[in-house]
Structure 1
Amino acid sequence: MKSPSSSSQITKPWVEFMLTEYEKKKAPQTSVTVKSYTIRNATKPGESFNAELILLDVKALISDGGRPEDTPEEKEYNLIVKFLTEDPFSCELIKRCGYHIKELMMYSEVVNELNDFQAVHANDEFRLDLPQFIYGKCTEKEYVLVMENIKVLGYETNPKKEGLDFQHAKLAVNHIARLHAVSYAYDKSHSFLEKYPCFQFSNAISTFFKPVVWASLANSITFLKSKKTYEDMVYKLETGKTTLPVKFAAMWDDQTRHKFLCLTHGDFWNSNLMFKHRTATQDGEKSIESLKLIDWQISQWNNPVFDLHYLLNTSTSFEMRRDHAEEILRHYHTTFTEATTKMGTPVPNWNYEQFKAEFERTSLVGFLMGMCLIQGTLSKAGENINHGGSTCLTHTCCRPCKVVIDKIKAGMAKVVISFAFKPSSSYIMRASVKKVLSPIGRELVEGNNEILNGRLLDLLMEADEKGVLDVLTL
């Protein structure tokens, strides 16, 4: 059966087909009859620009075809349905980079394979936890991914404006250490990339990140100048603003310099971590029961320390890093080392000092990731950039016009995205991204968003104190 490409195309027959396919994995004679279903948006405007996320709640009857005399069982499903974004440019970029394929593969095959491996070699001690996979399809013209809605089970994301505290960050790095360790150990005997070539490293991230770095840097310089007390920092950033994106790409892309490689999440930050808490105690404290990782579109075979940089620089406060960063890094290293050793694949020459040296060598990447993501996720202007809003073309009477215009946009998107990958396009891309992100710069100067301004200023000052910005003047 053809899959829907958006929430408006979801039908009762498709829901029955999809759920029957899921139930047949457990009992081949099973059939599902839908009594009712509801559809709601899973995100607020501006929260997701690379996908359409839908909440699908279903009430159904489950029948065993092998025993017709049995009374059908009533069952409720709480699901998340993920479609490709309707924005033609984002959609074309996702397809060109294979982000959608990787996420579907993670849920449908990769995690199961890795979990089976660690269960045999480590007694199931380092299990990887994701929401349950229900259904998925990916062809040239179809894409849909259906997962369980773990919010119904009590999972929630930590508010991004608060950032992760020590306990939440510690658990997060424990889980990412498992992913790194299990994939590394698996690769030693199974050659991960031969089986899953879509996770092969690509410089697509650095290609598109470079103009974002440049534009975010321009915003940071404007912000610091408005403060009039950070002349030395402004000098360092202005001196290196031309070469900074190039240095980022060189450090990110040169895999020959990395100590070793494994499967990385790629977008390992606050909003992609879903925690479940135990009932609060009398003093109001809630302890963490479990964690599941979501949003695997940017996962790839890469340097594992980049996931750590990403988390610490985008999702924690300066005070948390000052007080607990060393302990968090040691916890990661201990978990990773214990896991790889137990699975019989310890990494040679990888004691804590050597790991820490690699982390510090790549600290520029962490700073730049933090600088860009803080601006993009904590600013109100960033939310407006992501939310295109409705137009007259969304009305039913204009549907024929919308179809034609969408086809024209799709054709333009192929040309624009293809052009964006060419080195000759760097100047145009830089100017375009700067224009798009300039409202964030104005918001920084206005100073009304205290959380945004405080987190960015802390990150800039911390990078300067650690000597990260000194490389810009070399």
Structure 2
Amino acid sequence: MKTPRSGKDITGPWLEYILGEHLDKPPASLKVVNFTVGPGADPGDGFNSELVKVTAEVAEGEDDNSPVPQQTTTFSMVAKFLSLDPMNREMNRKMQTNQREYLLYKELMGNLNMLLVSKISEEPKVSIPKLIYGKLTAKEYILVLENLKTKGYETNDKRKGLDWPHLLAAVDSIARVHAMSYVYNKSHDIKKEHSCIVTTSKSLSAFAPVMTAMLHGLISFLKSSKETEALGQKIADVKSTLIQKCFSFFMSESPVSCLIHGDLWNNNLMYKHKGTEDGTEGEIEEVMLIDWGVCSFGSPLYDLHYIVYTSTTRQVRQVHLDELLRHYHATFVRLVTLTDAPPSNWDYDQFIAKWKESRAVGFLFGCALTQGTLSTTNPINKKPEPSVLDKPYLAPAKALVNGMKSGLAKVMVPITFSSVGRSMVEDMFKQIMKPVLDELKSGKNQVLNTRLLDLVYEADEDGLFVA
């Protein structure tokens, strides 16, 4: 059966087909009594894909004329498609993000968890959403996952940042991914078996123009105030060096290489809490790691810097950073040692030395994500305006325009990966992010300004801006 291209193409017969596969029952024995499709993410939280919520009421058993009542089950799902935007769609295909995420849900994470259970059965498995249906061909792509929100999972408020318990739970979970993929790779060679899983340094290169543009905006913001003008100049003087440090670290050989999530920030974590008698939020019961489209293979320090500096406040880092790093290292070493694969050159002092050496990673991604996700004026976070071409009688014209856009995207995307193209992308992002710069200068978004300035002050205290 043909796979829907977007949420609006989902039909009852298609839902009967995929649920039949999921339940291992003939689709003819199922009947979708009713279904709804709605937005699955806020604007800006899923701009690289189309995410829709699907609720389907499904009847099983005899037909309506039978005296035996039909059994009805409600399925709550999230369907993930490639972005409807032709440029984003083609970019994702070029970077193979759809292939990576499909592989992760369909096979790879299951293999890691089976290894964990077989080696250390008492350890908790890594939690990701259950895959209900997936398809990946040259022309078709979809992932249908369980809707975690209907099971009591919630995302933390990104403006507040992760507090200590939520940060610790997330890092404990990613430590398990890192440890088991490190062990698994010794006998399977993940990059060789799965060519779509690229090195972290290669994955990182795609974000270089964005990172550079964000740094340009930060410097402009700092220089706009007498209080921070000197800091802005200080960063401007070492701008190229900062970016080079970031790339050099991940291009060099790491004592430990493993599967990297690649986008481990606040909104890609969902938590379930134990209930309390008064209805307040109780202890964390489970954390789910979601959105694996940019996973890669490389140093685990990438994920650690990413979550620490994109998703926490300065207060959390000041009080808990040392404890967090010790917990991560102890968990990783304990798991790989129990599986008879202890790493060499990875004691705690060596681990911390590498953490400090890669400090630029945390600063750059922290500044980029903070501007991109906490801004209220970022164009990426805005819901697209309705198009006049959405009118039914203009469907042929819309199809023609979309075809032209797709053709242009296929020409332009390869160019963006050239040296000239990277410069074009950087200039484009500088223009896109002008509203964010204006918002920073206005000082009206206190959370954005505070989080960004704290990143700058910390990095300066750590000596990151020394020429």
Match of 2:444 in 1: 448
Q: What secondary structure sits across from 1:130 in the alignment?
A: coil
Match of 2:95 in 1: 97
CA distance change for structure 1 residues 86 and 124 in 2, over 3 Å: closer, same or farther?
A: farther
CA distance change for structure 1 residues 16 and 35 in 2, over 3 Å: closer, same or farther?
A: same
Match of 2:254 in 1: 258
Cα deviation 1:194-233 (Å, max 9, x = unaligned): 3333213265533332222222112111221233122432
How big is the shift at 1:72?
4.8
Cα deviation 1:250-304 (Å, max 9, x = unaligned): 333x1x3322210010000100000011124659552111111100000111111
CA distance change for structure 1 residues 182 and 100 in 2, over 3 Å: closer, same or farther?
A: same
CA distance change for structure 1 residues 384 and 294 in 2, over 3 Å: closer, same or farther?
A: closer
Q: What secondary structure sits across from 1:467 in the alignment?
A: coil
CA distance change for structure 1 residues 63 and 106 in 2, over 3 Å: closer, same or farther?
A: farther
Match of 2:421 among 421, 425, 429: 425
Match of 1:309 among 298, 305, 311: 305
Cα deviation 1:351-393 (Å, max 9, x = unaligned): 1111111111111011100010000000011255553322111
CA distance change for structure 1 residues 31 and 347 in 2, over 3 Å: closer, same or farther?
A: farther
Match of 2:233 in 1: 235
Match of 2:392 in 1: 396
Q: Distance in 2 between matches of 1:418 and 1:384?
A: 22
Q: Distance in 2 between matches of 1:385 and 1:418?
A: 26
Match of 1:184 in 2: 182
TM-score when normalising by structure 2: 0.95
Q: What secondary structure sits across from 2:331 in the alignment?
A: helix
Which piece of structure 1 moves more, 97-106 or 375-384? 375-384
How big is the shift at 1:126?
4.2
Give the letter aligned to residue 431 of structure 1. D
Match of 1:349 in 2: 345
Cα deviation 1:415-463 (Å, max 9, x = unaligned): 1111110123333222122111121111100110000000000000000
How big is the shift at 1:323?
0.3
Q: What secondary structure sits across from 2:207 in the alignment?
A: helix
Amino-acid identity (%): 37
Match of 2:197 in 1: 199
Which piece of structure 1 moves more, 166-175 or 204-213? 204-213
Work out whether residues 309 and 363 of structure 1, in 8 Å CA contact, stay in contact via their aligned partners in 2: yes
Structure 2 residue 14 is the aligned partner of structure 1 residue 14: yes
Q: Report the number of matched residues.
A: 465
Match of 2:222 among 216, 221, 224: 224
How big is the shift at 1:148?
0.4
Match of 2:292 in 1: 296
Which piece of structure 1 moves more, 421-430 or 455-464? 421-430
Which piece of structure 1 moves more, 239-248 or 35-44? 239-248
Q: What secondary structure sits across from 1:144 in the alignment?
A: strand
Give the letter aligned to residue 336 of structure 2. T
Give the letter aligned to residue 345 of structure 1. A
Structure 2 residue 266 is the aligned partner of structure 1 residue 270: yes
Q: Distance in 2 between matches of 1:340 and 1:395?
A: 58
Residue segments in structure 1 that go unaligned for 5+ positions in a row: none
Work out whether residues 255 and 345 of structure 2, in 8 Å CA contact, stay in contact via their aligned partners in 1: no
Match of 1:368 among 358, 364, 367: 364
How big is the shift at 1:4?
0.3
Q: Distance in 2 between matches of 1:189 and 1:395?
A: 55
CA distance change for structure 1 residues 201 and 113 in 2, over 3 Å: closer, same or farther?
A: same
Q: Distance in 2 between matches of 1:247 and 1:5?
A: 41
Work out whether residues 206 and 248 of structure 1, in 8 Å CA contact, stay in contact via their aligned partners in 2: no
TM-score when normalising by structure 1: 0.93
CA distance change for structure 1 residues 87 and 114 in 2, over 3 Å: closer, same or farther?
A: same
CA distance change for structure 1 residues 29 and 385 in 2, over 3 Å: closer, same or farther?
A: closer
Which piece of structure 1 moves more, 149-158 or 280-289? 280-289
CA distance change for structure 1 residues 352 and 202 in 2, over 3 Å: closer, same or farther?
A: closer
Within 5 A, what are the aligned runs for 1:323-342?
323-342=319-338
Q: Distance in 2 between matches of 1:34 and 1:283?
A: 35
- Superposed CA RMSD in Å reads 2.2
Q: What secondary structure sits across from 1:429 in the alignment?
A: helix
Q: What secondary structure sits across from 1:141 in the alignment?
A: coil
Work out whether residues 226 and 445 of structure 1, in 8 Å CA contact, stay in contact via their aligned partners in 2: yes
Q: Distance in 2 between matches of 1:121 and 1:415?
A: 48
Q: Distance in 1 between matches of 2:433 and 2:400?
A: 30
Work out whether residues 126 and 178 of structure 1, in 8 Å CA contact, stay in contact via their aligned partners in 2: no
How big is the shift at 1:63?
4.2
Which piece of structure 1 moves more, 183-192 or 4-13? 183-192
Q: Distance in 2 between matches of 1:338 and 1:69?
A: 59
Which piece of structure 1 moves more, 94-103 or 280-289? 280-289
Which piece of structure 1 moves more, 307-316 or 224-233? 224-233
